[in-house]
Amino acid sequence: MLDSVLLRKDIDFVVAQLARRGLSFDVDRFNQLEAARKAIQVETETLQASRNALAKEIGKLKSQGQDASAVMAQAAQVPEKLKQLEEKLASIKNELDAWLMTIPNLPHESVPLGKDSDDNVEQRRWFPEGGYQSDKEPDTFDFPVQDHVALGEKLGLEFDTAVKLSGSRFSFMRGGMARLHRALAQFMLDTHTAMHGYTECYTPYIVNSATLFGTGQLPKFKEDMFWVTKGGDDVDEYGQTIPKEEMYLISTAEITLTSTVRESVVPLSALPLRLTAHSPCFRSEAGSGGRDTRGMIRQHQFDKVEMVQIVQPDTSYEALEQMTAHAEKILQLLKLPYRVMLLCTGDMGFGASKTYDLEVWVPSQHTWREISSVSNCEAFQARRMGARFKNEQGKNEYVHTLNGSGLAVGRTLVAVIENYQQADGSIIIPEVLRPYMGGIDVLKP
């Protein structure tokens, strides 16, 4: 959520920054709500002063043995008036908060201006032979390239079975393919915990709405979520009906990992927090149209290893570069060609101030595809969650939150299948994955 203090002090700056994201901020509406809030606060303070003055007058009259009944009657009306003002103030605050919950984060000054992904700026690209080479193109194969669907069908990737069980945009894996998928997730977790200092976590896959409001998925992106309801018909041990509640399947473990600090004050000594988790992710893909209907690129259910850092504000951009390097390291160890893109203002996520995307090379499509997105949300999520830390002066201050894929397991599997394919349809297992595969070095049709 945007900083309300910044809105009051420098609304022109906020308007200009949101305009960079292509959003027009309703200044008149904000000013009207602010004026109403200030008027109620002034009236409240005046009434509170009057109450104090009446209390003193009552005490004085009583001490002098005089009749204080008229003044007492006047004072008796004050609490009800204060209650009415409190309710009005709460109503205005709720309207303002509900509105601000739908406004995206402000972009960092280093984020390039742009409308969509065409305006993103390449930072660097990396190749298994030669490392970082800005002008190099990925190597071509000396045989006809197959996509991961055609290759996978002979290796245990069964899309027809998934369609029978659940419908389109789901996957079913069997045998060596399922093991390779698991190996990727284990390798990612082991790398992030042993090499990068993250604490491995296991989190719920279903969360309440308050959790999603905190990290920014609600209210704006409800249609992107899958949800279930509980309660309504059940009764508790006292015979009371349990209220109906919507519960949501997580679209990323960012939601649960970041929310571990919700409504809490983190000790300064505990920062930075580095957390990682492997989880399924559930997305309705609302608005995706007919894009990527073939294969595993865009699924309703997929696995991801997520990285989250909770840090002091003055270190968050250093942490962003660090987390991007952590995601890069996975691709480097797997020896997969990739490039790093700095997203423009029009292509960033709702809660991000600055985002890097890692894009892996997909030979069958002869293009780069996103495999990781690493973002600094600054204090945007922390304000929504009420997540603070005690600074060196002993005052509570909002933490900064960062999240990144480290990596999307399904898309990494796609990249491994296609980049390691052989002319006979077999797949060479990347060297770093072989210990997780029981020493298997190739998957054969």
Binding-site entries: 252-254, 283-285, 306, 370-373, 403, 405
Euclidean distance between CA atoms 257 and 274, whole angstroms: 9
CA distances from 396 to 13, 64, 234, 374 (A): 25, 48, 41, 27
Residue list, annotated binding site for L-serine: 252-254, 283, 306, 403, 405
Euclidean distance between CA atoms 137 and 148, whole angstroms: 21
Angle subtended at Cα 180 by Cα 339 and Cα 411, rounded to the nearest 5 degrees: 35
Strand partners, 163: none
Contact 40, 89 (CB under 8 A): yes
Contact 152, 283 (CB under 8 A): no
Tokens found for residue 48: 């509170």
Residue entry with tokens 């200030």: 38
Strand partners, 91: none
Q: Kindly give the interhelix angle for 69-76 and 78-100, rounded to the nearest 10 degrees.
A: 20
36 φ/ψ angles, rounded to the nearest 5 degrees: -65, -40
Q: Which residues contact 359 (CB under 8 A, 6 or more apart)?
A: 338, 339, 340, 341, 368, 369, 370, 371
Euclidean distance between CA atoms 306 and 189, whole angstroms: 9
Residue list, annotated binding site for ATP: 283-285, 370-373
Number of helices followed by number of strands (H, E) in the chain: 13, 17
Strand partners, 125: 339
Contact 274, 198 (CB under 8 A): yes
Euclidean distance between CA atoms 311 and 369, whole angstroms: 29
Q: What is the DSSP letter of 220?
A: T
